[in-house]
Amino acid sequence: MAEKQKPQRLSSRFLGPYRRFLYVAYVVTFGTIVVLSIRVGWFYAVSQTLFYGYMFYWGLRTVKKFEQVAFDDEFLYVYQKLQDYVIPLESIESVEISSLGGTYKVNLYHAEQLGKEFFFKTSLIYPLNYKSKDALVNVLRSKIAKAKSRRQQLPHNALMS
C-alpha cells in the first residue's frame, strides 16, 4: 500500500495576522475619512461616510471569508479555529482566481457547512511570486480532475440498495 502523502499548504500561513492588519487598516482609514469629511461639511461627511462605509464593509466581508487550505491526493482540508473540514476532491466543481491580489474561490457542487463557495489567499505578496503559487493551484486542479475521473458514475435511473 502506498504511503499517505502529507497535505500541501495552499494558503498563506500568515492569514491570521494579515486579517487583523486589514481590520486595523480599514478602521483607521475609515476614521480618517470621516474626520476629514466632517471638516468640509455635514452633508459631505454623511455622503462620504455612507459610500466608504459600504466599500469597507464589502472589503471586511471578503477578508472574513478567507480560509486556511491544504490538499493531498484525495481531500481538500479547510482549517478553522473551532473545527476543521475535509472535502473530497471530487465534490469540488472548480477553483478559480477571483481577484488580482491572489484570492482564489473554490466552488463546491453541493453546499456544505462552509457554504457553496469559500475563498483562500495563496500568498500575501502574490503579484511577486505568482508563478510558483499558480503552479501549486494548477497541481490542485489536476488532482481534482483526476479524482473526478476516478469517480464512479451511476446511471440516473439506478436503484440504490
Residues 73 and 138 in one domain: yes
In a shared domain, residues 72 and 55: no
Same domain membership, residue 126 and residue 105 = yes
Contact 104, 119 (CB under 8 A): yes
55 and 27 in one domain? Answer: yes
Residue 104 lies in a domain: yes
| Lowest-confidence region among 15-19, 71-75, 107-111, 135-139 | 15-19
Identity of the amino acid at 21: F
Helix then strand count (H, E) for the chain reads 3, 7
For residues 103-119, one letter each, b for 16 or more C-beta atoms within 10 angstroms of the residue's C-beta and e for the rest, the string is bbebebeeeeeeeeebb
Tens of pLDDT, residue by residue over 93-134, are 999 988 877 888 999 988 878 888 888 888 877 777 788 888
DSSP 77-91: EEE-SS-EEEEEGGG
For 105, the enclosing helix (H) or strand (E) is strand 103-112
In a domain, 139, yes or no: yes
**Can you give the residue range of the structural domain that contains 138?**
68-150
Confidence of residue 139 (pLDDT cuts 50, 70, 90): very high
Residues 7-54: tens digit of each pLDDT? 888 887 788 888 888 888 888 988 888 888 888 888 888 888 889 889
Same-domain pairing of 79 and 124: yes
Measured CA angle at 24 (ends 103, 132), to 5 deg: 25
Q: Is 24 helix (H, G, I), strand (E, B) or coil?
A: helix
Q: What pLDDT is stored for residue 107 in this prediction?
A: 93
Question: Do 21 and 88 fall into the same domain?
Answer: no
81: in domain:
yes
| Angle ∠(68,55,18) on CA atoms, nearest 5 | 30
pTM: 0.73
Confidence of residue 160 (pLDDT cuts 50, 70, 90): low
Residue 3 maps to a domain = no
Residue at 161 is within a domain? no
| Number of domains, the chain | 2
Contact 25, 3 (CB under 8 A): no
What is the model's pLDDT at position 106? 92
Q: Which of 39, 64, 89 is the last residue of a domain?
A: 64
pLDDT value of position 2: 59
Shared-domain flag, residues 88 and 32: no
CA-nearest of 144, 78, 82 to 114 is 78
- If asked whether residues 134 and 100 sit together in one domain, one would say yes
Spatial separation of the C-alpha atoms in residues 103 and 124, rounded to whole Å: 10
